[in-house]
Structure formats: structure tokens, C-alpha cells
Amino acid sequence: MTVQTAISVRADPRSPAGRPGTRTAVVLAVLALATAGVASVLVGARLIPPGVVLDPSDPLHAIAAARVDRTLLGLTVGGALGLVGALMQGLTRNPLADPGILGVNAGASFAMVLAISAFGVTDLHSYVWWAFAGAAVAMVLVHAVASAGRDGATPVKVAIAGAALTAAVSSWTSGVLLTDRQTMESFRFWQVGTIGGRASDVLLVGLPFLAVGAVLALTSARSLNALALGDDLARGLGRRVALDRLVIGVAVVLLAGAATALAGPVAFVGLIVPHGVRAVVGPDYRRVLPLSLAYGAVLVLVADVVGRVVLPPAEVQVGIMTAVVGVPVFLRLVRRGRIGAL
Amino acid sequence: MSAVVSPEAVAVVRRARRRPIRRTQWVIGGLSLALLGVVAARTLLGDFLITVPDFLRIVTGTEIPGASYVLMESKLPRAVLGVLVGGAFGVAGAIFQTTLRNPLASPDIVGVSVGASAFAVFSIVTLHQSGPMVAVAAVAGALFVAVLVRSQVGSSGGNRLVLVGVGVSAALLSVIQYLFTRADVWDVQLLLQWLTGSLSRVDWPTIRLLAVLLGVLAPLLVWLARSARVAELGEDAAAGLGVTPRRSDALLLVAVLLVAAGVAAAGPIAFVSFLAGPIARALNAGRSTLIGAGLVGAVIVVGADYVATYLVPDVNYPVGVVTGAFGAPFLLWLLATGRAPRRS
């Protein structure tokens, strides 16, 4: 929905780089965030009147409090996923880059399952580190495999390598889980990707990592702009390409790993949002990155709210909603002529 | 025509033509022996040993307390189902890979298996169906995905097809997971059967149904398969040699039905169709062979089921976990060594 609105306000094609769209996009992002946030607190299996949120004596207050936690988690996870999608697309110059498609989420979740099951790690403080390690290994592995062939890491090969890694890792994950009934129970709902039913302290554990990742990401807009011209030109412009890539890679690992640790593997947010944003404000990462963060948060919240009411009485988890919305966008990207580098 | 043909030249040509045929015969013979070996291991070995004389006595009707039950209700049906499903997946995979001329374009990677699985799960969880209706749903799902993917990419078999299939699979997998979070009963084995494939919920009626389906498809397949080798040469060359695109499409349709029948019986066992074709081809010195691929598929499924059941004591892995754990790295290796086609 948000992508649709974003695209519908596309600036007049004659204006250079769609710049007049930027202000509209920013205003819309603020409005959409506010609306989605309020809706996420008030809408659900049971509608809550706004006054309840501030009134601790009301019987519905507990529901409201749980929904506030859930909304905050959705905002942070969604922002992180939108941002990480833009970062990965810029870093690899691959329009299909998304932490879900490229196997980064799968790597993180496998590492966490391994930590919980094989090493007896029970504390979120500890296994968030495993999620980072898994995300980093998966990212490096996918690119190593995809770039090994004769023609280097084409977008198509990277995406297929990501899918293969996801398939392998999910087999291993099921293999570990089946030996361990208890882990399976706690993993059951986490595996589909959801922001519901988490305590607020979960968010506090992830927040520092997400904050560092977001700062690294937002400050690397200039290096992404330079990298978009190709490594040689970026070097000519005075960038230290290897260092830039390392910083962006660390940001990707922090954001994707922490988001996966908090909400489970949520795919396609990082794919849809940056493309929608780019269609409105043009390719400048100084605008793409912050807006991807905002619209990622909006998309996850909206998906969550719609998932709560679309098929009562049960909820549709965020991860499932984003997959169902995201696949048509993915197919459109694949179909659209040749898949060039960004 | 009175051209003088030297007998030596005739002999050379004859030898050259005979060599691949003989090689194929050897490969098929060897694979049949291997299949017999893994089936014997699956039925006789494991944590409950059954001797060959006992096996023969039980199969011919003698009741041996304990052993009869284990053999007739668990070991033998699993082995038989493994052979049928593996054969179906292997042949279907080889048809896809040769007709589309892309080793990555096997039904389990382009989403056909997952489509069959998603529709089957929908019919079980939401419509409370069982038996033949699940098979019908699986066929509908496989056809739906095949037509959807085809409509997205046209008739080219390049990697764009694979990518579209990967996307469609991702969406359908999440649909399966969603259907299961809604189900009242949480049955891990059932979920894993429909996500990765498993032989653990086998019974004889399922085997009978599958055997009937495969029996119907087999003559069709034999009739159409003559065109498979020509279709491998590409659309234009095939058309020139009298194989119309419609005939290749019919062959693909049979492959889709084979996959659907297999999925309805055992779930989308990961990577069997993908692995069987290339392995059979490598054994056969680079020539594709559908029978060989079917045998390789059967050996993989029965062997992987043996490993899955007895590798870790007290844990029954579904067979799809084992094939996925080894098959997916093989796909990565194909990509890394650049053997996958580079057409997009």
C-alpha cells in the first residue's frame, strides 16, 4: 500500500531526477508513520479507544501496552530492514539484493538455532552475537560463490546462490531442530517472522546494535553514491573503496542480524522499499537511505496491522504478509528487461 | 547407388554408434544393482535386522510376530514409496533439465513441487480432505505454478525462469507455514513432510494410488520421451528435426504430473529432481538418460531415507532434510564452478 502511494506521487517526469517528489515523500513518510503507528496500537482483534492507552486503570490497558511494545518493535525492525535493503543494493549494485533473498536472514537464524540447541545459549544478549556471525558468514559465502564463475557476480547468480544457501541452511536448521523438541517449540512462530508476542526487553537488547548500524548506514550515503559509479571512478573521486565496503558491510551485518534476532526472518521489505523510494526521489543515497528507513518501518507496521485483521480469528504473521506482497514486486523486477546492475 | 563402402569404415561407424548404447546399458544395469542394494539395506538392515529367508517368508504370507509388523508396516512400504517417488522425481527432473536446457531448471527449484505441496496442504488443513482429493489438489498446484512461471518468462529456459521460480517458491513456502500456524494440531512431522518431504507417514493405500498414477503416466512418457533427446538440441534444431514445441510442452506436462503425484505421496523431497539428472548424465558420459535419472532418483531417496532414519539414534529425520542438506551445497558448487548456464 505504501509503495503504491509512494509511486503515485511520482514527480512530473520532465523535472530533473524527480527532486520535487522528495518533499512530498518526506511529508508522506511522516504522515504514514504517524497513521500506521496509531493504527498499530488501536486496531486488532479488539479495537481500543484512544483514551485507554493513557489510563492504567482501564481493563484494556494491558492490551494497549502490549500493542505499544509491538509497534515499537515493528518500527525498529522495519526501519532496519528497509535500510539494509538499500545498503545491500548499493553495496553490490544488485537490484535484487535483499537480506531475505540473499540468504543473510537464513544464515542468522541458523546460527541462532545452533547456539540455542547445540551450545545451550538461552540469553538473547548472547545469541544476538551468533546472529551477527551467521549473517556475516552467509553474506560473504553467497558473494564468494556467485563471483567465482567466469562472469563474476551477476545479479541473477547472486540471487540464485542466495536461494541455494537459504535452502541448504533451512535443511540444516530443521535437522538441528528435530533433535530438540524444546527449541522447536520456541522456534515455531519465530521462524515465520513476527513482531507480536515479544517482551519489551527484547527490543532493548537489540536497540544498541541497530542504532550503531543505522548511524554507520546513514553516514555512508556519500560512499554509496561514489560506489554507484563503479569502483574505478569511486577511487578516482578519492574514496577508499575497500574501507567503504567494509563499513557498509558491518552496517548490513549489524542491521540484518539484529532485525532477524528480534523478529525472525522477514524477507522482501528490503527489496520493495528502496525500489519504491528510488522511483520517487531518484538514485541519490542521501535521500534514499533515510526514506528507506522510514518507509520500511511503515511497510512492516502496515503489514502487521493488516495481518491482524485480514483473516480472523488468527493473525497472519508479518513475514508471511511481506512475502505475499513482495513476490509480485520481485517478479516484476525480474521480468523488466535485462537485469542490469544498479 | 553403387558407392563402394569399405567394410572397415562400416565397422568403425558401427563401433562408434554402439559404444554409447553399451555404456547406457552398463549404467542402467549398475544403477539397478545399486537400487537393489539400497532397497535391501533399507528393508533388512537398521535397528531391526531381518534375514533374507525371513523376508521371503513374510512377503509370501507367513506371520512372524514382531518382524512381520516391522517389515510390512514400516520398512517395506517406505522402501517401495521411496523407489516410486524417487523415480518419478528423477525422471521429471531430467525432462525439465533437458527440455529447458538448463541444469538449474528442475521442478523443485522452479517451484513446481512447492506449488503442489501448498495446494495439498490447503486441501488438508482448510478443506479437511484426504487421499485422492489431496492428489488432485497437488496436481492443480503443480499445474498452477508451471503455468504461472511459464506466463512470466515465456518459453525460454534461462536463469530468469529459475529466478521467477525461486520467488514463487518463497511466497508458497510462507503460505504453507501460515496454513500450519492456523492448524489446530501442531504436528512437526506433518509440517516437515509438506515443507521438505518425508516418507514417514506412508501407508499401502498411498502407495497404491501413486502406483496407479505412475502406471497411467508411464506409457505416455515412453511415447513422448523419444523427442526428449532432440528437444535438447534447442527449439529451432528440434523443429527442424520434426519435434514441434507442442510436443516438448506435452513432455513437460507429463513431468509436471509426475512431480505432482510424487509430492502428493511424500511431499516435495528437496533437490532429488535437481540432483538426479546431472548425476545420471555424468555416469553416462554426458548423454542424458531418463531411465538412468529415474534410477538415480530412486537410489537417492531410498539411501537418504536410510541415512535419515539411522544416522542419529532416536531421531527420525525426514528424508528431505538429508537430501536438502547435501543437495543445496551441490547447487552452490555448480554456481561456483560456472557450470550453470550464463544466459539470463
Question: Residue type at A217?
Answer: A
| Interface-testing mutation among A117, A143, A151, A171, with chain B (most B C-beta atoms within 10 A) | A171
HEC sequence for chain B:
CCCCCCHHHHHHHHHHHHHHHHHHHHHHHHHHHHHHHHHHHHHHCCCCCCCHHHHHHHHCCCCCCCHHHHHHHHHHHHHHHHHHHHHHHHHHHHHHHHHHCCCCCCCCCCCHHHHHHHHHHHHHHCCCCCCHHHHHHHHHHHHHHHHHHHHHHCCCCCHHHHHHHHHHHHHHHHHHHHHHHHCCCCCHHHHHHHHHCCCCCCCHHHHHHHHHHHHHHHHHHHHHHCCHHHHCCCHHHHHHCCCCHHHHHHHHHHHHHHHHHHHHHHCCCCCHHHHHHHHHHHHCCCCCCHHHHHHHHHHHHHHHHHHHHHCCCCCCCCHHHHHHHHHHHHHHHHHHCCCCCCCC
pLDDT of residue A213: 92
User: B199 or A155, which is more confident?
Assistant: B199
B89: nearest Cα among B214, B236, B228: B214
Say what the pTM is. 0.81
pLDDT of residue A9: 42
B336 touches chain A (CB under 8 A): yes
Min distance A134 CA to chain B CA atoms (Å): 17
Domain A2-335 CATH class label: mainly alpha
Domains of chain B: 30-336 (1.10.3470.10)
Distance CA A111, CA A99 (A): 15
pLDDT of residue A2: 42
A158: nearest Cα among A88, A233, A262: A88
The string of pLDDT tens digits covering residues B115-130 is 998 898 888 888 877 7
pLDDT of residue A147: 80
pLDDT of residue B184: 60
| Interface-testing mutation among B159, B166, B180, B333, with chain A (most A C-beta atoms within 10 A) | B166
Q: Please give the interface size between A and B, counted as residue pairs whose CB atoms are below 8 Å apart.
A: 147
Residue matched to cell numbers 501442531:
B186
The string of pLDDT tens digits covering residues B222-273 is 888 777 677 777 777 777 777 777 777 888 889 999 998 888 888 888 889 8
Residue in B with minimal Cα distance to A171: B321
The string of pLDDT tens digits covering residues B29-65 is 989 999 999 888 888 887 777 788 878 887 777 777 7
A333 touches chain B (CB under 8 A): no
Contact B163, B292 (CB under 8 A): no
CB-CB: which of A144, A268, A331 is closest to B164?
Answer: A331
List, in order, residues 6 or more apart from A295 with CB less than 8 Å away: A2, A3, A6, A29, A32, A82, A273, A276, A277
B160 touches chain A (CB under 8 A): yes
Percent of chain B with pLDDT over 90: 9
Cell numbers for A279, please give them: 522511483
| Mean pLDDT, each 10-residue run in order, chain A (342 residues) | 42 47 84 88 79 76 82 91 91 82 86 81 76 88 80 75 84 76 66 69 83 92 87 86 88 89 84 86 88 92 87 79 83 67 52
Residue in B with minimal Cα distance to A191: B177
Query: CA-based angle A44:A48:A52, to the nearest 5?
Result: 140
Domain extent listing, chain A? 2-335
pLDDT of residue A115: 84
Please, how many CA atoms are within 13 Å of residue A95, restricted to the half-sphere of its CB? 19
pLDDT at B74 over 70: yes
Q: How confident is the model at residue B302 (pLDDT cuts 50, 70, 90)?
A: very high
